[in-house]
Amino acid sequence: MPKTARMKEHLGKTAQVNHVALSAPITWLRKGFADFMTCPLLALFYGSLFSIITYNFWTYLSASQSLHDVRVPLVGVVVLLLGPISAMSLYDGSKRIQTGIKPALKDVLLSAFKANGSCPSIFLSVMLIVLAIMWMMFSPLIYAIFNTGSLNIVSTDQTIVEAILSEITSGGNMGFLVAYFIFTALMGLTAFMISWFSFPMVLDKDVDPFTATSTSLRAAMANKIIMFIWAPTVGVLVLLSLMTPYFIGLALVIPIIGHSTWHAYRDTIGELK
């Protein structure tokens, strides 16, 4: 993996992890909203683009005969993957605001493009994609464990995805529901712990992906209560925005979450030593 001079300088160093107060998530959201209001053009550009891409992807899946059944999980995966990756511009915007500079859209987008094109960001993105693929691959297997003979097709009229959704909505198979909920929660939590601080850390400190990932995991474990407050908060906000017409709520929610994540990173991750 190609390394920059700054990345080589940081090799072998670890970042200090701070314990944050229970009220921190409220502070992060407040600061995130303040950043949104400071550079609304950047926030709305990014948020609207995110909303348009997600809604068009949903429309495409809904019209597709082969992918119609998996549109809900696929859109969820897209939001999970695109969120931290494309939020680099928002992280950079918040970073500039903290230094007293009002970010210009072209400068922030250029910085984010360079950061996303770096090997660490690509590596982190691949990690999230692998987790998403694992979730989609093991979901039918878990269903098959609780429904003998159902690994590929449940019936001539029902696919495995339809069967899983049917089990979830009917609540008829509690064993499957509990196992699938635990599995999905663990996969989602793992993705969250990996990406929470790793992407902003790559942008801020130009570290390798292993340092960024291990630091993000350490920070999440050191602030478990905060993580279990922040992760559901983000999930609920995104879910509510997906319930708005044309997913327009994403145009507001995603930028605020992105800016807020930067402040969460700054409060939690200290200097490299």
Pairwise pLDDT comparison (83 vs 152), residue with the higher score: 83
Sign of the alpha-carbon torsion through 90, 128, 72, 53: positive
pLDDT at residue 165, as a whole number: 65
Per-residue model confidence as pLDDT tens digits over 70-108: 677 778 777 877 777 778 889 989 999 998 888 877 777
How would residue 161 be classed by pLDDT, with cut points 50, 70 and 90?
low
Provide the Cα torsion 203, 85, 135, 233; round to 10°.
90
pLDDT at residue 154, as a whole number: 43
How would residue 122 be classed by pLDDT, with cut points 50, 70 and 90?
confident
Residue 268 in this model has a pLDDT that exceeds 90: yes
pLDDT at residue 258, as a whole number: 94
Q: Which of 116-130, 154-168, 195-209 has the lowest mean pLDDT?
A: 154-168
Q: Which residues contact 186 (CB under 8 A, 6 or more apart)?
A: none
Per-residue model confidence as pLDDT tens digits over 124-143: 888 888 888 888 888 778 87
- Between helices 250-268 and 40-63, what is the axis angle to 10°? 120
Residue 27 in this model has a pLDDT that exceeds 90: yes
**Domain map (residue ranges) of the chain:** 21-272
Tell how far CA 145 is from the center of its chain: 29
pTM greater than the 0.75 cutoff: yes
**Cα–Cα dist 227/233, whole Å:** 10
pLDDT at residue 71, as a whole number: 76
How would residue 180 be classed by pLDDT, with cut points 50, 70 and 90?
confident
Residue 217 in this model has a pLDDT that exceeds 80: yes
Per-residue model confidence as pLDDT tens digits over 235-262: 899 989 989 999 999 999 999 999 999 9
Pairwise pLDDT comparison (91 vs 69), residue with the higher score: 91
Q: Which of 28-37, 59-68, 155-164, 248-257 has the lowest mean pLDDT?
A: 155-164
Q: Which of 8-12, 48-52, 172-176, 262-266 has the lowest mean pLDDT?
A: 8-12
**Cα–Cα dist 205/203, whole Å:** 6
Question: For residue 13, what are its two tokens?
Answer: 């160093």
Neighbours of 243 (CB within 10 A): 9
Beta bridge partners of 159: 153
pLDDT at residue 76, as a whole number: 77
pLDDT at residue 168, as a whole number: 67
User: Which SS3 state, helix, strand or coil, does residue 18 take?
Assistant: coil
How would residue 156 be classed by pLDDT, with cut points 50, 70 and 90?
very low
Half-sphere exposure of 204 (CA within 13 A, CB side): 25
